[in-house]
Structure formats: C-alpha cells, structure tokens
Amino acid sequence: MPSDDYIKPVHAPVLMLPDDPPIIVSWERAVYNSLPLTYHREAELQFVKQGLGSYFIQDRNYAFKKNSLIVIRPNEVHRLIPHPDLRIEKCTIIFPETLLDDDSKLTCFPADFPRHICLSERDATDIEVILRSIEDERRYRRHLWLDVITTDLKKLILYIRRNGARENDDLPESENELVRKIVNYIETDFAQEITLNSLSEIFSLSPSYLSRLFKKCIGLNLKHYVLQRRIIEAKRLLENDPMIKVSSIPQIVGFHDFPVFNQNFKQITGLTPSAYRKIMDKHDK
C-alpha cells in the first residue's frame, strides 16, 4: 500500500499559452488526497467557500476554513494540505502579473500584501460575485470581455487590500518560526544529502519531534519534501535555461541516477523531463 506521502501523477503544469485567455478560473468541489509541492510563474488566489485545511506557502503554514481567501505570489512553492475526508469547495484563479501592468498601484504583490483573509458572509458573497463574473467573461468572451476581466481582477485585489490580512496560522508562532528556519536551511542545501538525523543535530531537536513537526506543518515527511523540492528546481531549470542538457539536471538538483530522477519527475508532474521542456519551449515562443 502506498504511504500517505505517495503522489499520483497530476495534470500538466499551469501554462499561459499565446492563444489562451490570460487568466485561469476553476471551481472545484472535491475530497482531496495527497498533493505535491508546486509552483508557477503566475499569481494565484484561492477562495475557499467551504472546507477545512491549510496551505503551505514558501516557508509558512496558513490554516483556512469556510470563507477564506489565500494569496500565492508568483514562483512561490506551495501545497494544499486538505483536512482528511472533508469535501472542499473552492475557486482557483491564476493570472500573470503583467495583466495589471497598466496600473502601478496593483503591479506585483509587495511584502505587506495580505496573504490570508477570513471573510464575513457578506464579504464572501461579494468576492464570489466577482469571481463568477470573471469566469463568465472568460467562458463566453463577449465584446470587451478582457477589459471586463481586468477591471474585475483589479477590483478583487483592491478588495483584498481593503480588508487587510487576518492571518490564522495552523501552528503556534514558535513552531511556525522553527519550521521556517528548517525550510530555509533546506532551501540553501537541498541538492546535498539531507537526512532527519543531520537536521536534528543542526537544530538540536530529537528526530521524532522534528519529524512530527515537519509533517504537521507541511503535510509531507522530510524525505518526500526534499524529493519534491528537487523536482521543482528541475522544472525551473527546464523552463529558464534551455542551454542545460536534460541529462545534466539530475546532478544539479541532487539526484545521482537519471532513471530515478526521470521516474520521480514523471510521477509528480505527469510528464517526463524532456516532454516538460518541449511544452515550455512552445509556451515561450
């Protein structure tokens, strides 16, 4: 039987192809199983209409419940950690920041931009109306549809700013800070051998406590987190550096065996590294 950290192949990466609308809107209602770490170049907003769980974003855990809104900046490593056996109804909206380039007040997400908002029923209704409008315009593409989407998106972001952040971490601040330090250490050294015992010595923690804390915050054990973080780095190299040969990437990101790298890459992304690069090449043309 697979472990809790087993990752089934997932859908193809998020791509904004030239002929596609420059925004993705998806409403989902499902019981989610284990999901991999992921990242993409675009910004992402998650509106949780119903459900419980948390999002691990970059190096911090954000707990959500009914009427939560989560903000994920471009290129941030993140992962949905659903509550087991509970259905989640949510809307995902993904868009390039360039969509807002004509408005200097809205370009990029500064450090103080709200990351997690717990909405009142009235505020949640207002947000859902905006999201439904974006979804409707994207689907039917009536006259001036992109202008309407851009206006709705600006309204949504201003709405987030106005409401401010009401962060509700899944862990006590002391534990969140400890996990943040561990994740930041891994970030600088994930291509090297990292074990539970070595981290325990570095941070003066027992292996069992570190393992429980890590799994509690990120929803993955240390071994699977490091593996998936290496795959994310491989994806970035495939996207951003066409001069690097596919065969050279495993060694750079911490794999010593190409077949193992190839197998794990396909298991997590649903594509081989070569197929992923071909898709990204088409995307960039």
Q: Is residue 127 part of a domain?
A: yes
Domain count, the chain: 2
Same domain, 81 and 181: no
CA proximity to 38, closest of 1, 87, 2, 92: 92
Q: What digits encode the pLDDT tens for the residues 135-163?
A: 999 999 999 999 999 999 999 998 888 87
pTM greater than the 0.75 cutoff: yes
Furthest C-alpha separation in the chain: 62
Under 8 Å between Cβ of 42 and 25: no
Q: Is residue 10 part of a domain?
A: no
* End residue of a domain, out of 122, 137, 163: 163
Under 8 Å between Cβ of 90 and 49: yes
pLDDT the model gives residue 3 = 41
- Span 127-141, mean pLDDT? 95
CA proximity to 114, closest of 76, 73, 86: 73
Same domain, 109 and 215: no
Cα(50)–Cα(258) distance, integer angstroms: 42
* End residue of a domain, out of 163, 193, 220: 163
Same domain, 63 and 128: yes
Q: Is residue 208 part of a domain?
A: yes
Under 8 Å between Cβ of 47 and 128: yes
Structure tokens at 211: 């393992």
Cα(169)–Cα(178) distance, integer angstroms: 13
Q: Is residue 168 part of a domain?
A: no
Same domain, 104 and 214: no
Domain containing residue 157: 24-163
Strand order in the sheet with 68-72: 24-30, 88-95, 43-50, 68-72, 116-118
Q: Is the pLDDT of residue 215 over 80?
A: yes
Same domain, 199 and 242: yes
